[in-house]
Structure 1
Amino acid sequence: MSKTHRLDLLNNSISYFKEAVSYAQQDTAETNQWKFAILHVVQAMELAFKERLRRVHPVFIYESVDKPDKTVSLRAAITRLRNPMIGNLTISDADKTKIEKAFDLRSELTHFEFNHSHEHIELKFAEIFSFMIFFYRSQLDLQTADFIDEGQHNSVIQLVKTRQELLERAKEHIAGRDEIIWICPECSENTFIVSEQQCCFCHRKEEIVDCPTCGTENFEHDLIDISDAFDWAVDEGRVSVQNFGMEEVCCPDCVAETRGKIEDIRRSQYDEDMAMEEYYYRKGK
């Protein structure tokens, strides 16, 4: 790996980070400003991850060892960095979730129409900004002045402080209430009020539904489609399905048991069919 390539990864990461900060510090409610801030900070993070992998071994920045023409995706980079045999970095599940949410948001902002408020994008920026401050320092051996000047740092750090203040207010709102509180799948904070079906911190709304199998409450998106275990048939354009008395979805805890029941029923029906065929065969002889 050439020195030029090494400098490109690191310097490009810092360049994107500084550009992200320049958008964020403008202190505006203009959504486009925050759109560019999140786009640039996520790009800075992706390049920084690749630089950290390069320092383990240059080959790890590529998607495939056999085809060193495409670098790894951000998700693959996280996996390699957390792998004890490669990066051996401690990136918590909570941080991993926040990083992936920011990555998904960047993809949405880039490729699709989006309807997120600037407050929502600002929160995501604050999460990645605070993560990157420590990643640059601890994993890439940089001083703060190497990637952000003092004035910018003091300006943008207010976002992190604001986020913490908002989180504290949300937790105060929850405290003392006789409510069931879950971890929000959007902001990863323990601030989702089940009865209201909404997070009181990031304001994500999601329907809470009962698992058809065990009856426990779940986020709707957590229910898993198990219809691939059913017997499907197409006859003259008509689709028929044998669902063995099961619903198409169930919660993660019920998946293995439900699939096992379906297989048991299928096996029992097969045995009965074989027994009947044997019966009629003997009866006809």
Structure 2
Amino acid sequence: MSGNHKLDLLNNSISYFREAVACAQAEAPQTSPWKFAIVHVVQAMELAFKERLRRVHPVLIFESVDRAEKTVTLLGALARLRNPRIGNVAISDEEKASIEKAVKLRNELTHFEFDYSHEHIELKFAEIFSFMIFFYRAHLDLETSDFIDEEQHQQILLLVRARAELIQRAKLYIESRGNITRWICPNCNETTFIVEDQQCCVCHHKEEIVECPNCGVENFESDLKDISHLFDYDDDEGLMRLVEDFGFGDTGCGECYPEVREKIENARRERYYEDLEMEDYYAGKLYGA
């Protein structure tokens, strides 16, 4: 039974979340797409909560743990998740209030006439969207690509106000991690790239952090430049053969690139003068002889 629930709850949650994102991407001034975006994202959240409870114990997804009949409501699931003796999931009072408002809005959108602007619904969607990004990753052990395509993720960041929500949540997450190293993310330009994780906690851009082979300073892999063109080569029947790399690696960081270039030029100049001295020496030996 638990296997079936796992398939239904998690995969259905992801399906609703993707539908919500598709609705939010609809380029229409009407409120209707945002209405369905809210309905779907709240449904995705409800199923995700139940999946998290199922992982604690399968009976927790039911309203009554004595009868496996009606499943628990979203707010009931939220209460169990926040309960330290059950789910022990860190969901703040502020997040709880935001979730309750989203549920209230969802109910009004589906059961009553409503008079909300799409800007109001968009803002509420942004709150739940950002919450779900972190809930999927932190509490259901999913990668971003498991529940949203990269292209959709980037478009939704630009389209709705979720970016501000994500950044604020990322800052709170970073603070909760304590003493960690943050860099400016090369993808979203926010200071939310966690070096220890090699991933940005806003846009989830992943990139390996590597040491510059010349100065040893850590850099984004993409920031290392090819410096092999500074080396000396010889034309060997149409093929360029490396003659001298001056003790440097093929790549270097932007910080040490000017210094490496200067060292190579100095080494090349010194070798030139040494060659001149040797020529004078052998010329003197020759003429002296």
TM-score category of the 2 structures, normalised to the smaller one: 0.5 to 0.7
Q: Could you say which residue in structure 2 is the equivalent of 1:80? A: 80
1:74-126 C-alpha deviation (Å, 9 max, x unpaired): 11111100000111011000100000100010000111000000000000000
Q: Distance in 1 between matches of 2:139 and 2:27?
A: 29
Q: Distance in 2 between matches of 1:136 and 1:61?
A: 17
Q: SS of the residue aligned with 1:91?
A: coil
Q: SS of the residue aligned with 2:55?
A: helix
* Matching residue's letter, 2:112: F
2:36 is aligned with 1:64: no
Q: Could you say which residue in structure 1 is the equivalent of 2:29? A: 29
Q: Could you say which residue in structure 2 is the equivalent of 1:172? A: none
What's the offset of the Cα at 1:160?
A: 5.2
2:145 is aligned with 1:145: yes
Q: Distance in 1 between matches of 2:53 and 2:42?
A: 17
Given that residues 126 and 162 in structure 2 are in contact (C-alpha distance below 8 angstroms), is that contact kept between their aligned partners in structure 1?
no
- Structure 1: which 5+ residue stretches go unaligned? 169-285
The percent identity for this pair of structures is: 70
* Matching residue's letter, 1:55: R
Given that residues 13 and 44 in structure 1 are in contact (C-alpha distance below 8 angstroms), is that contact kept between their aligned partners in structure 2?
yes
What's the offset of the Cα at 1:66?
A: 2.1
Q: Distance in 2 between matches of 1:103 and 1:83?
A: 20
What's the offset of the Cα at 1:5?
A: 1.9
Q: Which runs of structure 2 are paired with 1:164-179 in the superposition (5 Å)?
A: 164=164
2:67 is aligned with 1:52: no
* Matching residue's letter, 2:120: H
Q: Could you say which residue in structure 2 is the equivalent of 1:126? A: 126
Q: Could you say which residue in structure 1 is the equivalent of 2:115? A: 115
Q: Distance in 2 between matches of 1:71 and 1:110?
A: 20
Q: Distance in 2 between matches of 1:3 and 1:68?
A: 15
Q: Distance in 1 between matches of 2:119 and 2:138?
A: 29
Q: Could you say which residue in structure 2 is the equivalent of 1:10? A: 10
Given that residues 123 and 161 in structure 2 are in contact (C-alpha distance below 8 angstroms), is that contact kept between their aligned partners in structure 1?
no
Q: Distance in 1 between matches of 2:5 and 2:162?
A: 38
Q: Distance in 1 between matches of 2:72 and 2:85?
A: 17
Q: Could you say which residue in structure 2 is the equivalent of 1:281? A: none
Q: SS of the residue aligned with 2:69?
A: coil
Q: Could you say which residue in structure 2 is the equivalent of 1:171? A: none
| CA 1:162–1:131: 2 relative to 1, 3 Å | closer
Q: SS of the residue aligned with 1:69?
A: strand
What's the offset of the Cα at 1:67?
A: 2.2
Q: SS of the residue aligned with 2:137?
A: helix
Q: Distance in 2 between matches of 1:61 and 1:87?
A: 12
2:41 is aligned with 1:41: yes
| CA 1:16–1:162: 2 relative to 1, 3 Å | closer
1:104-162 C-alpha deviation (Å, 9 max, x unpaired): 10000111000000000000000000000000001000000000001100111125547
User: How high is the TM-score relative to the length of structure 2?
Assistant: 0.55
- Please give the root-mean-square deviation of Cα atoms over the aligned residues, in Å: 1.7
| Structure number with bigger Rg | 2
* Matching residue's letter, 2:136: Y
Q: Distance in 2 between matches of 1:162 and 1:39?
A: 17
- Structure 2: which 5+ residue stretches go unaligned? 169-289
Q: Distance in 1 between matches of 2:135 and 2:55?
A: 14
Given that residues 127 and 160 in structure 1 are in contact (C-alpha distance below 8 angstroms), is that contact kept between their aligned partners in structure 2?
no
Given that residues 130 and 160 in structure 1 are in contact (C-alpha distance below 8 angstroms), is that contact kept between their aligned partners in structure 2?
no
* Matching residue's letter, 2:42: V
Q: Which runs of structure 2 are paired with 1:179-194 in the superposition (5 Å)?
A: none
